[in-house]
């Protein structure tokens, strides 16, 4: 049976040079594919399944420019199944039903399988994903999805459970360098028709600034070369300034609602907890320079001040709230320094999670224990009736005792003697621990 590819893929010689360089240089075989050795290296199960045309339903998950759609093109070239492609950016349920209807007819008339590829899968809502589920389950189509977002959060559980998830990694600098050099030399699909000289400095910057995204690197390279005027011998020289101008700015990998958002804030939090001001400043910069909401960062710093510093340094909360106010008052970029000041302060502050643990113990008792009434002696006798029924009776007024302290039972009877807050041995908590120990000792005496 003749294979029917996913796309009307032109032969290499027919590729129009009006197409972007990144599209022309898209690998068409596994041997051309760069990176993702854990999937496509010779002998890997993934590659063997594709070459044997035995495909399970699967989801490709990885950052932009890592090769997700390219793998779909390669599968289109290899498989004997009908390959139908949709983009979740523009397609809807009606488009899927049309493809699935054709798949049913094809399976019934000729026995040919259909592989349904959906790019940008995370753009489909729950109802749209639900629409394809029954046909994946009954084998009408083999499903392949591609997404930059974590499938655990963006793909409905029933569909996710029926697919193998293959994680594609960010391309390494060496991967991107190889792709760029191939594009410069390739006379059929690349830029080999031109005489090109690119300085090592320019190449290094192009590779580094593309941040593992091959598409960014090739687009910038193409712009720089087309903008370069050939000399008398037809040589186009590409220097660092041309690459910088083509890139305009570094392509920072960041999505304020995706994995990078959570990964970077986690790195910041853990660097603060680890008392590493340099790493904390770096992760702060990665978020802010990529366009993260500075007030979101400020909120997380306030949280850290109570959760991981706590009473070991009570000023931490004051500093972080002040940073939030400064950002709100002066905006960016001036507010960046206020956040940086708070980050450094938190990183070098003494650490204690005793406050966090104390509240966790309180929450546990409240959620799983009895919620007893407030003891009568702690209640305010606002009226005569309350006073006659025992409100406030036996209450000891602390200011009337030496050192303004007196022990009395302030918890419900079932929790008498319960200790929630146990101060640590760092910073100001040393003083708190000594003070509490003195009070408790006096009480026992």
**Model confidence pLDDT, tens digit, residues 135-173:** 988 888 989 999 988 898 889 999 999 999 999 988 888
Fold annotation for 371-444: post-AAA+ oligomerization domain-like (1.10.3710)
Question: pLDDT digits over 238-297, tens only?
Answer: 888 888 888 876 555 656 566 778 889 999 999 999 999 999 999 999 888 877 888 899
CATH topology of domain 173-247: Helicase, Ruva Protein; domain 3 (1.10.8)
**pLDDT tens digits, 346-359:** 999 999 999 999 99
Q: Tens digit of pLDDT for each residue in 5-50?
A: 444 444 444 455 678 888 889 998 998 999 999 999 998 999 999 8
Structural domain 259-348, CATH architecture? Up-down Bundle (1.20)
Identify the pLDDT of residue 351: 95
End-to-end Cα spacing for the chain: 94
CATH topology of domain 12-167: Rossmann fold (3.40.50)
Domain ranges of the chain: 12-167, 173-247, 259-348, 371-444
pTM of the model: 0.62
Q: What is the pLDDT of residues 371-386, one digit of tens each?
A: 889 999 999 998 988 8
Q: Which residue has the higher pLDDT, 370 or 353?
A: 353
- Whether 217 and 210 have beta carbons less than 8 Å apart is answered as yes
Tell me: pLDDT of 423 over 50: yes
Q: How confident is the model at residue 108 (pLDDT cuts 50, 70, 90)?
A: confident
Alpha-carbon distances of 398 from 331, 340, 377, 442, rounded to whole Å: 46, 42, 13, 15
- 320 contact partners, CB below 8 Å, separation of at least 6: 298, 301, 302, 304, 305, 342, 346
Query: Which region among 35-49, 192-206, 428-442 has the lowest average model confidence (pLDDT)?
Result: 428-442
Burial code (b: 16+ CB inside 10 Å, e: under 16) for 382-421 equals eeeeeeeeebeeeeeeeeeeeeeeeeeeeebeeeeeeebb
Instruction: For 6-15, give one letter per residue: b (16+ CB within 10 A) or e.
Output: beeeeeeeeb
Kindly state the percentage of the chain with pLDDT values over 70: 93
- In angstroms, the CA 372 to CA 130 distance is 47
Report the pLDDT value the prediction gives residue 443, as an integer from 0 to 100: 52
Higher confidence at residue 84 or residue 309? Answer: 309
Rounded Cα–Cα distance for residues 255 and 346 (Å): 26
């Amino acid at each position: 049976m003749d294979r029917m590819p996913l796309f009307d893929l032109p032969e290499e010689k027919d590729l129009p040079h009006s197409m972007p360089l990144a599209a022309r240089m898209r690998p068409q075989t596994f041997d051309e594919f760069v990176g993702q050795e854990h999937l496509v290296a010779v002998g890997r199960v993934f590659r063997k399944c594709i070459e044997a045309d035995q495909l399970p339903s699967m989801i490709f998950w990885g950052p932009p420019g890592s090769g997700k759609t390219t793998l779909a093109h390669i599968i289109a070239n290899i498989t004997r199944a009908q390959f139908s492609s949709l983009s979740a950016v523009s397609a809807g349920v009606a488009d899927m039903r049309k493809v699935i209807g054709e798949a049913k007819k094809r399976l019934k008339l000729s026995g040919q399988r259909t592989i349904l590829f959906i790019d940008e899968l995370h753009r489909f809502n729950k109802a749209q994903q639900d629409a394809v589920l029954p046909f994946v389950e009954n084998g009408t189509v083999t499903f392949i999805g591609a997404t930059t977002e974590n499938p655990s959060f963006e793909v409905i559980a029933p569909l996710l459970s029926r697919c193998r998830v293959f994680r594609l990694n960010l391309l390494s600098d060496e991967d991107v360098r190889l792709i760029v050099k191939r594009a410069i030399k390739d006379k059929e699909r690349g830029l080999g028709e031109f005489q090109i000289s690119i300085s090592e400095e320019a190449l290094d910057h192009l590779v580094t600034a593309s941040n593992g995204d091959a598409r960014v690197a090739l687009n910038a390279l193409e712009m720089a070369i087309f903008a370069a005027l050939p000399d008398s011998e037809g040589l186009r020289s590409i220097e660092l300034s041309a690459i910088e101008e083509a890139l305009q700015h570094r392509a920072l990998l960041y999505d304020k609602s995706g994995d990078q958002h959570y990964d970077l804030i986690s790195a910041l939090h853990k660097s603060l907890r680890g008392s590493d001001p340099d790493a904390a400043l770096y992760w702060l910069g990665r978020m802010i320079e990529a366009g993260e909401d500075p007030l979101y960062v400020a909120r997380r710093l306030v949280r850290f001040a109570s959760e991981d510093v706590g009473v070991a340094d009570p000023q931490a909360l004051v500093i972080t709230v002040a940073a939030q106010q400064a950002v709100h008052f002066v905006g960016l970029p001036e507010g960046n320094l206020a956040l940086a000041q708070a980050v450094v302060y938190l990183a070098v502050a003494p650490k204690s999670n005793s406050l966090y643990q104390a509240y966790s113990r309180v929450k546990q008792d409240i959620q799983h224990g009895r919620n007893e009434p407030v003891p009568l002696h702690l209640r305010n006798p606002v009226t005569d009736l309350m006073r006659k029924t025992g409100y406030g009776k036996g209450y000891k007024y602390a200011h009337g005792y030496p050192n303004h302290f007196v022990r009395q039972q302030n918890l419900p009877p079932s929790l008498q003697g319960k200790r929630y807050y146990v101060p640590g041995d760092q910073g100001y908590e040393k003083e708190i621990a000594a003070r509490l120990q003195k009070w408790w000792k006096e009480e026992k005496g």
